[in-house]
Amino acid sequence: MGRTRGKKNTKTPPSPAVTKASATPAADETGEEEMLDESIAAPQPVAETALDRILSEPQKNLVSVRDPARHFVEEARRHARLDAEVESELGRRAREHGDLDAARRLVVHNLRLVVAIAYQYRQAWLNILDLFQEGSVGLMEAVRRWDPDVGTRFGSYAAYWIRAYVLRFLMTNARLIHVGNTRAGRKLFFRLERERQKLLAAGFDPTPKLLAAKLDVDEADVIEVSGHLASREISFEPRSDDEGVPLAERVARREASPEDQAARNELAQAVRRLMEGFEGGLSDARDIAVWREHLASSASEPVSLAALGERYGVSKQRMGQIAEKLKKQFRERVLEELGADIQMAWQTEDA
């Protein structure tokens, strides 16, 4: 009987209090699962970054970001050219009032001119972006110098400065040895070979004299630039020769070696001591004047023998005889002290 009651008790429904308490945790778990599903299905929005905007754009925009030159061209095309009235107004604001916004508008609306000029020289330089940058500097220089009251359109004026800066960049960096650092050199850098081909086609011998006359430059400039353009550039340190001596140590320099300079300085000091001693042994006033003011003078224009003769009341010929006597005596002193290998040059004046 006791066991039967126990089974019946297990089958009896639970009390309302017990049912309510056991049902509450189940409902909470169900709500948490629903909230978790919603969070997975619809994630919370986050702030959009610059990288997200770039990645969401079409593929052509990615190419322009990765290629700075193409990006520069697209930016230049995005700004239309200005009409004459707007250009003049912006130019006056930039020139007279220092308006940076007006100067910026003149620059950005004429970048297409930079692109057009830079592409004319794209075969002379590998990276077109370098030419864009130099041309942009020239464009800013044109904005600084342009005077709208002259009547010239800004594009015509700016083209000169853009091309000037691009050409200067090419002449400075196109070769290891700079060619065309002067006005004549810049002209020859770009026109020498073209003019030579014209003369050959016409049946003339393109001599330096004829090329100089055609290009209106000096013949020496033609010879110098031709030598630079025709020569091959090599490094001083490519490799050592068979004897193990680098090329830089085998090329002769125009200036004297340190040993020669030291020998010259020592000789100059010895001659200076002899001159001081020789002057100290002179007693006659005329001899001292001829030696100090004419023969051994450090001035750019020594006193003439005629002026010394008038001072002492003798003729120019007499002062010349005194000078020859002093030179002979000093030459003997030098040969006696320094040897027969010494050569001397005297300042002579017949006037």
Q: How confident is the model at residue 152 (pLDDT cuts 50, 70, 90)?
A: confident
The C-alpha atoms of residue 166 and residue 121 are separated, in whole angstroms, by 8
Q: Is the pLDDT of residue 142 over 90?
A: yes
pLDDT digits 0-9 by tens, 280-298: 888 888 998 888 888 888 7
Query: Are 60 and 71 spatial neighbours (Cβ–Cβ below 8 Å)?
Result: no
Cα dist from 348 to 111, 149, 268, 276, whole Å: 67, 63, 20, 20
- What's the pLDDT at 204? 87
What is the four-CA torsion angle of 334, 336, 342, 346, rounded to 10 degrees? 30
The C-alpha atoms of residue 125 and residue 118 are separated, in whole angstroms, by 10
Q: Is the pLDDT of residue 6 over 60?
A: no
The C-alpha atoms of residue 192 and residue 197 are separated, in whole angstroms, by 9
Q: Is the pLDDT of residue 63 over 80?
A: no
The C-alpha atoms of residue 188 and residue 209 are separated, in whole angstroms, by 14
> Token match 């007279």: residue?
96
Q: How confident is the model at residue 60 (pLDDT cuts 50, 70, 90)?
A: very low
Task: Name the region of 98 (left: φ>0; alpha: ψ -120 to 50; beta: rest).
Answer: left
pTM greater than 0.85 (yes/no):
no
Residue 217 three-state SS = coil
- What's the pLDDT at 222? 83
